[in-house]
Amino acid sequence: MFGRLNHVGVATPSIARDRARYARLFGEAAVGEPLAMPDQGVTVCFVDAPNTQIELIEPLDDASPVAAFLARNPGGAQHHLCFEVADLDAALDAQAAAGARVLGAPRIGAHGTRIVFLHPREMGGVLIELMEAPDGGH
């Protein structure tokens, strides 16, 4: 059901700080530009690794759900794992049948495809993002 790991989300109080850190570790070319996503209350920035991406996530304001996460993890921390799925609706049906709790309705994510999150309580304590694969999973 789950496809490849698309990215690991890392909440940060400062994308600027972490962009510089990842540029030192991975090289300047691997670090993308920040993208504000006001409808989700965050700014994101992707770091390219050979087999996946790291998504840096900074809250736009205190109303962002990521702000509450950072209040518990002030230095920043891993926030979620994102897996690609070929058909988000089918994946949601399967996860609901398996007892997973879906957090909210699907929406458009930073990659331009539909996403949704699964509650960490049913996922071994890990927040899981399901992302409809940009190429339909092919």
Catalytic residues: 129
Instruction: Report how far residue 97's alpha carbon sits from residue 74's, in angstroms, rounded to the nearest whole number.
Output: 36
Report d(CA 54, CA 49) in Å as an integer.
7
Q: What is the DSSP letter of 63?
A: T
Tell which residue, 107, 110, 133, has the closest CA to residue 35.
Answer: 110
Exposed e or buried b per residue across 66-93, where buried means at least 16 C-beta atoms within 10 angstroms of its C-beta: bbebbeeeeebeebbbbbbbeebeebbe
In this structure, how many other beta carbons lie within 10 angstroms of the beta carbon of residue 37? 17
